[in-house]
Structure 1
Amino acid sequence: MASLLSSVRISLSLRAQCRPLVTAAAQPATWTHNSLRAGVIARKKGMTAMWDEWGVRIPVTVLQIEDCQVVQVLNEETHGYTALQIGCSDRSEKNVNKPNLGHFQKAGVEPKRKLFEFHVTPDAVLPVGTELVASHFVPGQYVDCSAPTIGKGFQGAMKRHGFGGQPASHGTSLTHRSLGSVGQRKDPGKVFKGKKMAGRMGGDQATVQSLKVMKIDNALNLIYVKGSVPGVDDQFVKVRDAVKKRGNKIAPADTLPLPFPTVDPKLVEAMPRELVAKTGGADPYVMKE
């Protein structure tokens, strides 16, 4: 019996010696040029204008983030790819069906109005329930905005495709805005697939790339992006880092690295309410010699 206990002690001591050392605290993830962060779901609130230090007017679209949280983590083992399911805008439980309600209860978050997936790199995975705010982005960086375009219903070829129409002169009767010829004679004797004709216009998913973030409002969770964004007012818009502005081109040098995998809530409390992008450059009203 004594020999058995001694052998067990020796085996346990050998296992302890062979066990790898565990560090006191894991190193936080750092942003690299190959990192792919999660995006956010915002709601389009309309357009306004800003003026830089030279007095140049800049049209901007206002996007508001409300109750944006991580609902599910999708990894390589279970789904074959790494992504985060993001939800936004809380809604009442009575307006959610039972399967979705169980999905939200399993995640421990309030039911959401909209859910989207964002592909991320494994080092950018966030825990379920993490809240994403406007300071997830930095002023001066570039983002891509995706949303359905404004639906315009059934439209003719002139409005839908920009056709010139028929001659508006003598002899043209009731066909001024008609499409015109769409086929050929006997050979090939058909209308080719994809011919631009009258039909349903708008309501398609569109992405406007490389829009500059002009201002961040931490109190109201607002993002001001330069230019127009698809969709009507109050439309859900997917906002994420620009795919065509990789590396150091995605943001000014003084704002890099980006908050990774997202901004620390403690840092947001210490930030000023508004963060405005620097425009810089020369006075555009000075004539060059």
Structure 2
Amino acid sequence: MASRSPLVCASNCLQNILFRDAFTISRVLTCYQPVRYRKRSSRHPEWFVRRRGKSFDEGLTQENKQFIKDLTVEQYKNKPSPLKEEPLERGEWDLRTRRTGVLALKIGVIPQWRKDGTKIETTLLQIIDNHVIRYSPPEKFAQSAGWKPWWGRKYGSVVVGALSCEPHLFSKEYNNLFTEAGVPPKRKMTRFLVSPNAAIQPGLPLTAMHFRVGDYIDAQAKTIDYGFQGVVKRHGMKGGPASHGGTKWHRRMGGTGGGGDMAGIWKGKKMPGHMGADWNFAKGLRILRINTKYNVLYVTGTTPGGNHCYVRIMDTCLPNRRREIQNHPPMPTFYPEDVKDPIEEEYFDETLFDFKEPSIEYIDEESNK
């Protein structure tokens, strides 16, 4: 058997080392996966203002409590309202317009029927006592603490509040936030990004007529909080067998990580943990019915969160669901003086059946002759 020269053996070893290193590097590069996990934080942001003040049982009588309520109402009546000043210039609608949204309360899910008899599920969202609290133009909003760099400097900020409450329930710092708008303190507030042509004046009320029947909206809310859950309920895993060797691992997840060069547990691995209480979107929901008396929207499908939770409603961001320029929504919101005809109590979609109308019509053939 012929012996190999030392030079040939050295070259073969070098090739093996280079091939092994190249294979390992390519495996590391091709096996990269994006991180799919969320960091939960209970720390308040920089702009947080303490809402609740220290409450004391002062032993006030009913007459004194009523006197304090009447005095508070008189103070708000005498405050100068920003609506008495010159209104902001109303811009024109274009395809890149971003209007303000509203805060609604989720009532529940009820069925509706179309004219052809098909049944659809709709979610009831009630817009309760919405007012514009503050408007910040793009140049001012870019200098605030809540501004994010990825938003850019082309959008302003509109703060909307819902559900008026008595001032003595909140702290002095929180009540001062509503001085500019001239409205009572709100139980819930949120912020929307708006384009400069959709600037809106503080103190202006927002109702269900901010939208129209047939419009598409996006709903954002916190999902139902289920607490700590296992992988079967949290991620829908199958679990172990019910019998035939399955001992104490019927609802377990199985293996968590592999071996080899990429041994270990990667970030984003589906495991037991906290389920729910996360902000989630439901996009492209269509408005089928509007009740102007109680400010209720009937939208298709379901929205995140349970009943009696707050839902942020805004114009949809889906490009194929946006309104055209000729059929744009009211800018920047609905003004009663823009409508000549009286406002009806309910508006229905053309495909939705109104139960006030007859469902069956009988025609006498002899009378037609």
Tell me which interval the TM-score lies in, with the shorter structure as reference length: 0.7 to 0.9
| Greater mean alpha carbon deviation, residues 170-179 or residues 60-69 | 170-179
- Which of 133, 145, 148 is equivalent to 2:222? 148
- 1:118-129 matched pairs, under 5 angstroms: 118-129=192-203
Give yes or no for contact 1:135–1:268 (8 Å, CA) kept in 2.
no
Corresponding residue number in structure 1 for 2:294:
220
Q: Take 1:56 and 1:36, find their aligned partners in 2: how far apart are those partners?
A: 34
Deviation at 1:76, TM superposition (A): 2.3
Corresponding residue number in structure 1 for 2:136:
74
Q: Which amino acid aligns with 1:69?
A: H
1:146-167 per-residue CA deviation (whole Å, 9 max, x = no partner) reads 0000111111111111111112
Question: Does 1:32 find its partner at 2:94?
Answer: yes
Secondary structure of the residue that 1:94 maps to in structure 2? helix
Structure 1 residues not aligned, in runs of 5+: 1-24, 281-289
Question: Does 1:258 find its partner at 2:338?
Answer: no
Give yes or no for contact 2:220–2:313 (8 Å, CA) kept in 1.
yes
Q: Which structure: larger Rg?
A: 2
Question: Does 1:137 find its partner at 2:211?
Answer: yes
- Which of 138, 160, 163 is equivalent to 1:89? 163
Q: Take 1:103 and 1:133, find their aligned partners in 2: how far apart are those partners?
A: 22
After superposition, the CA RMSD in angstroms is: 2.2
Deviation at 1:185, TM superposition (A): 4.1
TM-score by length of 2: 0.65
Give yes or no for contact 1:142–1:245 (8 Å, CA) kept in 2.
no
| Greater mean alpha carbon deviation, residues 264-273 or residues 85-94 | 264-273
Question: 1 or 2, which has the higher strand percentage?
Answer: 1
Secondary structure of the residue that 2:233 maps to in structure 1? helix
Give yes or no for contact 2:88–2:200 (8 Å, CA) kept in 1.
no
Corresponding residue number in structure 2 for 1:10:
none
Corresponding residue number in structure 2 for 1:209:
283
Give the share of equivalent positions with the same residue, in percent: 34
Q: Take 1:250 and 1:186, find their aligned partners in 2: how far apart are those partners?
A: 50
Question: Does 1:50 find its partner at 2:50?
Answer: no
Q: Which amino acid aligns with 1:211?
A: L
Secondary structure of the residue that 1:270 maps to in structure 2? coil
- 1:180-259 matched pairs, under 5 angstroms: 180-185=254-259, 187-245=261-319, 249-251=321-323, 256-259=327-330
Deviation at 1:172, TM superposition (A): 1.1
Q: Take 2:310 and 2:274, find their aligned partners in 1: how far apart are those partners?
A: 22
Q: Which amino acid aligns with 1:277?
A: D
- Which of 349, 354, 359 is equivalent to 1:277? 349
If asked which structure has higher relative contact order (CA below 8 Å, sep 6+), I would say 1
| Greater mean alpha carbon deviation, residues 264-273 or residues 158-167 | 264-273
TM-score by length of 1: 0.82
Q: Take 2:314 and 2:285, find their aligned partners in 1: how far apart are those partners?
A: 10
| Greater mean alpha carbon deviation, residues 57-66 or residues 97-106 | 97-106
